[in-house]
Structure 1
Amino acid sequence: MFFVVNIEEWDIERPMPRQVLPAPTNAPVLPDLANWAWHEYGMRVGFWRILKMCEAEGIRPTLSINANVCNSYPTVAGAARDAGWEFMGHGFRQIPTHQITDQREMIRDTVETIARFTGERPVGWLGPGLTQTLETTDLLAENGIRYCADYVIDDVPTAIRTAHGPIWSMPYSVELNDIPMMMVQHHRADELRDRTLAQLDRLLAEASEEGCKVMGLAVHPYISGVPHRIGVLEATLRAIASRPGAVFAQGREILEWWEKV
Structure 2
Amino acid sequence: MSDEASRPQGRQHGRYAYSPLPRRPPYDWPGAKRLAVYVALNVECFDFGGGLGAELAPGGPQPDVLNYAWRDWGNRVGVFRLAELFDALSLPASVLVNSRIYAECPGLMDVFRARGDEVVGHGRTNAERQGTLPEDAERALIAEATAILTREEGRAPAGWLGPWISQSRATPDLLAEAGYRYLLDWCHDDQPTWFSTRGGRILSVPYPQELNDIPSIVGRKDSGAQFAEMIVDTFEEMRAAASAAPLVMGIALHPYLVGQPHRLRPLRRALAHIAQHREEVWITRAGMIADHAIGLPDGMVPG
TM-score range, shorter chain: over 0.9
Cα shift at 1:56: 1.1
Match of 1:66 among 95, 98, 104: 98
Larger deviation: 28-37 or 130-139?
28-37
Contact persistence 1:155–1:214 (CA under 8 A): yes
Report the alpha carbon displacement of residue 99 of structure 1 after superposing the two structures with TM. Answer: 4.1
Displacement after TM superposition at 1:125 (Å):
0.7
Does residue 48 of structure 1 match 2:80? yes
> Among residues 1, 4, 8, which one is paired with 2:44 in the alignment?
8
Task: Determine the structure 1 residue equivalent to 2:29.
Answer: none
Q: Which residue of 1 aligns with 2:3?
A: none
Query: Which 10-residue stretch deviates more, 182-191 or 149-158?
Result: 182-191
Q: Which of 216, 221, 230 is the equivalent residue of 2:250?
A: 216
Q: TM-score, normalization: structure 2?
A: 0.81
Cα offset, 1:203, TM superposition: 1.6
**Match of residue 18 from structure 1:** 54
| Deviation by residue 1:100-154 (Cα, 9 ceiling, x = unmatched) | 4510000011111101000010010111110101011100111111111111111
**Could you tell me how far apart the structure 2 residues matched to 1:226 and 1:21 are?**
15
Greater RCO (CA < 8 Å, at least 6 residues apart): 2
2:239 to 188, 204, 213: 204
CA contact (8 A) 1:19 1:35 kept: yes
The partner residue of 2:131 within 98, 114, 125 is: 98
Aligned to 2:193: 158
Structure showing greater radius of gyration is: 2
Q: Return 87-96 or 13-22, whichever deviates more.
A: 13-22
What SS does structure 1 have at the residue aligned with 2:39?
A: strand
Measure the CA separation in 2 of the matches of 1:56 and 1:80. 14
Find the aligned partners of 1:246 and 1:192 in 2 and give their Cα distance.
21
Equivalent position amino acid for 2:83 in 1: L
Q: Is the 8 A contact 2:130 2:141 kept in 1?
A: no
Shift of 1:242: 1.6
TM-score normalised per structure 1: 0.94
The correspondence for 1:83, drawn from 115, 128, 152, is 115
Moved more, 90-99 or 132-141: 90-99
Q: Which runs of 5+ in 2 are unaligned?
A: 1-36, 297-303
The 3-state SS of whatever aligns with 1:21 is coil
% same residue: 31
- The letter for the 2-side match of 1:193 is A
SS where residue 248 of structure 1 aligns?
strand
Question: 1-side partners of 2:255 and 2:291: how far apart?
Answer: 28
Compare the two structures and name the one with the higher helix fraction.
1
- Find out whether 1:250 has 2:285 as its counterpart: yes
User: Does the residue aligned with 1:3 lie in a helix, a strand or coil?
Assistant: strand
Q: Work out the CA distance in 1 between the residues paired with 2:247 and 2:198.
A: 28
**Equivalent in the alignment of 1:115:** 150
Q: Counterpart in 2 of 1:172?
A: 207
Q: Following the alignment from structure 2 to structure 1, what is the Cα–Cα distance between the partners of residues 92 and 235?
A: 19
Q: Distance in 2 between matches of 1:158 and 1:68?
A: 30
8 Å CA contact retained: 2:232, 2:270 = yes
Q: Separation in 2 of the partners of 1:120 and 1:16?
A: 29
Shift of 1:98: 3.1
**CA–CA distance in 2 between the matches of 1:5 and 1:36?**
19
Q: Give the CA deviation at 1:74.
A: 2.2
Runs of 5+ in structure 1 lacking a partner?
Answer: none
CA contact (8 A) 1:15 1:30 kept: no
Higher mean displacement: 219-228 or 234-243: 234-243
